[in-house]
Amino acid sequence: MSLKETVLAIGGELGFDQVQIGSIAPMTQAADHYQHWLDKGYAADMEYLKRDPARRSDPAKTFAPAKSVIIVSVNYYSVPPPPPPGSFGRVARYAVGQDYHTVIRKKLGDFCALLEKEAGRPIAARPVTDDAALYEQALASRHGLGFVGKNSLVIGPKLSGSYNFIAELFVDLDLEPDLEYQGTCGNCVRCIAACPTSAIKDGTINASAITNGAALMVDANLCISYLTIENKGGIPLALRSQMGDWVYGCDICQEVCPYNSKPPSAPWPEFAPDNGAGHYLNLPQLLQIDSDEKFVKRFQKSPLRRPKRRGLLRNALVVMGNQLKQDHSCSSEIIEAIDGFARAEADQMLLEHSVWALTQSPVHSAKIVLADIIARLATETRAQVQAYV
Query: Please, how many CA atoms are within 13 Å of residue 250, restricted to the half-sphere of its CB?
Result: 28
Rounded distance between C-alpha atoms, residue 344 and residue 382, angstroms: 18
Q: Across-strand partners of 281?
A: 89
By C-alpha distance, which of 280, 338, 296, 336 is closest to 314? 338
Integer Cα distance of 232 and 16 in angstroms: 33
Candidates 45, 110, 130, 131; catalytic one: 130
Strands 216-218 and 200-202, sheet pairing = antiparallel
DSSP 279-335: SEEEHHHHHT--SHHHHHHHTTTSGGGTTHHHHHHHHHHHHHHHHHHH-GGGHHHHH
In whole angstroms, what is the distance from residue 135 CA to residue 27 CA? 9
For the question of residue 130 being annotated catalytic, the response is yes
Pick from 103, 51, 57: nearest CA to 276: 103
For the annotated catalytic residues, the residue numbers are 130
